[in-house]
Structure 1
């Protein structure tokens, strides 16, 4: 099996036996992953679509953080749309053509790199707004222009890091010697051993370094400085802001650290002979931790958008407009609009004492 990097559907000879080792997932694992992925897909789709609608049609991306969060939602939405096909490929094989296969694998890779780097940009923007409050990009329009250029650079960089996945992802027939059946799989595939060894190490290494370690270090530095600034601030709402900081960092670590540790162990043992049962356990842990990492696309809208007072006021405006459209009542619309305006004014008054700390609830 020198031509593929598939985690499952591999047969190989164990070190202490001449029998083939079947590594395909058990029915219980398939059922549990199907339920988990369905929940992630549903909540991720709803949350990120609402964020995109709110920023795109109501909030109009007025700050740098708004631009970053809009792009994070787009990256997460790309992934949750591709997730059902990814799950189907891992469990049943690939039913579509080669082009769709490459797009599927590339969608996850682009989401990984762009989403994580954009979250690092969010932490950097909040660091400048709170810790380095005197530094500024000038006018609001100029700041938004800079943030859009940064987002464009992040997407281009993510696409560049995705090129190995795009180039080497192919369709191939995976033959099951036990059941004497063949399954069409969509995975990384290589024609020579040297390329296979290089890519099997380089692709997960880039994923761990750029998709996890770099954003984690940036977030830890920025949010540590922000925490120190908030602790020195005399504000009745500083404790709420500190809790938000803790939630952002802890959720990021809990979602991505287990998978990256499992991926590191998996990568380090790729070119060694492994015991069959140990390999099955390792792949089960890898699949489970990967599903936990997928949860981040559902939690991002809550942590970065819905927790903000201003964003919630725009979200309520969407709901009131939808309600008015369904009822077609001018009087009800007028009352709903006034009520939403009151929420906006109340939220702005509440956040006045925070000054630059309000970027956590912008």
Structure 2
């Protein structure tokens, strides 16, 4: 991902070598030194705890997981691994990259793999709902576990392939203009701009525009089906679905617009202006962090707004002795009241015979 943490071109280190002197990057460096550690120190525990709770609730289920639940489990795992890398970028913002080249390759690749996989599993969830609600086709039933495993393996495999340039070219480099060491791509001078643009186009298309188009198509069809069905639970599911799409759009669109503006500057479509570029650098830093915050929202969107998840979470707390049996009876359903369908409120409509 073209993120604010380890890519040298973020600091406008020109690799096109033109007659215009490169802009200074002291303002964004000073901003990131304060902003990123504070924000990442908040996102790290929120994303880690929230997604780990989702995984714990899913894994404590004695029955095989349904299709959407498997995707949510993988989504939570991807978000956990992504937020685990944030402390490394927070340290780099303050002290430069103080770790080894191997750590740079590993952390950078893990970040990129799980960035892509979190988005791709959102698409898998959308497609599963689309099939089950619009076409009444349940591809990922519990008795078709091989399909779920195959789909997840394909997603992880594609993400690993998309990350190969990062694993090959990420290195620890000394930036003499900033007087700091960065974990960044080390392309040759002749191919630097080519690789930079290729990675950005891949990131824009596969990391945002195509997944967003797929989700919008699936949910548009789902909403149309739910509106025709005239059912309370269906309309409740529709509100959840709308929230999912809107939050994804709000979290990632600002960053992609800022990155697109930065790309136009690099391609010299837009003229160089150091004052505007400094503001754009700060905008990219803020909007990228908003995108990372989406990892913390996923547990809320896919789990905590679901009644069944809350019941199972309370049941898990009861098993470990955190809440009493009386509390469970007051605030959660008893085992006899729970249905055998999936715990996720957002998938409830999928298995209700729509």
Structure 1 length normalisation: TM-score? Answer: 0.84
Which residue of structure 2 lines up, in the alignment, with residue 45 of structure 1? 48
- How far the C-alpha of 1:86 sits from its partner, in A, is 1.6
SS at match of 2:272: coil
Which residue of structure 2 lines up, in the alignment, with residue 145 of structure 1? 146
Quote the Cα distance in structure 1 between the aligned partners of 2:163 and 2:141: 35
Counterparts of 1:240-279 in structure 2, within 5 Å, are: 240-272=236-268, 274-279=272-277
Residues 126 and 183 of structure 1: is their aligned pair in 2 closer, same or farther, counting only changes over 3 Å? same
Quote the Cα distance in structure 2 between the aligned partners of 1:234 and 1:123: 21
8 A contact 1:244–1:360 mirrored in 2: no
- Which of the numbers 121, 125, 130 marks the counterpart of 1:122? 125
Which residue of structure 1 lines up, in the alignment, with residue 224 of structure 2? 228
Quote the Cα distance in structure 2 between the aligned partners of 1:162 and 1:19: 29
8 A contact 2:108–2:167 mirrored in 1: yes
SS at match of 1:36: helix
SS at match of 1:187: strand
- How far the C-alpha of 1:346 sits from its partner, in A, is 4.3
* Residue 182 of structure 2 is aligned to residue 185 of structure 1: yes
**What root-mean-square deviation, in Å, do the aligned CA atoms of Structure 1 and Structure 2 show?**
3.1
Quote the Cα distance in structure 2 between the aligned partners of 1:349 and 1:115: 27
- Which of the numbers 193, 197, 207 marks the counterpart of 1:197? 193
Residues 298 and 343 of structure 1: is their aligned pair in 2 closer, same or farther, counting only changes over 3 Å? farther
Quote the Cα distance in structure 1 between the aligned partners of 2:327 and 2:160: 44
- How far the C-alpha of 1:204 sits from its partner, in A, is 1.5
- How far the C-alpha of 1:235 sits from its partner, in A, is 1.5
Q: Which consecutive residues of structure 2, in runs of 5 or more, have no partner in the other structure?
A: 1-6
8 A contact 1:55–1:61 mirrored in 2: no
SS at match of 2:11: coil
- How far the C-alpha of 1:349 sits from its partner, in A, is 10
SS at match of 2:24: strand
8 A contact 1:11–1:176 mirrored in 2: no
- How far the C-alpha of 1:239 sits from its partner, in A, is 2.9
- Which of the numbers 320, 337, 342 marks the counterpart of 2:333? 342
Residues 170 and 359 of structure 1: is their aligned pair in 2 closer, same or farther, counting only changes over 3 Å? same
Which residue of structure 2 lines up, in the alignment, with residue 214 of structure 1? 210
**Matched pairs, number:** 342
Which residue of structure 1 lines up, in the alignment, with residue 279 of structure 2? 281
Quote the Cα distance in structure 2 between the aligned partners of 1:263 and 1:157: 23
Which residue of structure 1 lines up, in the alignment, with residue 67 of structure 2? 64
Quote the Cα distance in structure 2 between the aligned partners of 1:356 and 1:115: 18
8 A contact 1:13–1:20 mirrored in 2: no
User: 1:164-190 deviations in whole A, cap 9, x for unaligned?
Assistant: 11111111111137xxxx422101111
SS at match of 1:237: helix
* Residue 191 of structure 2 is aligned to residue 156 of structure 1: no
Quote the Cα distance in structure 2 between the aligned partners of 1:294 and 1:10: 24
Which residue of structure 2 lines up, in the alignment, with residue 173 of structure 1? 174
User: 1:198-232 deviations in whole A, cap 9, x for unaligned?
Assistant: 11001121111111111101110110111011111
- How far the C-alpha of 1:63 sits from its partner, in A, is 0.5
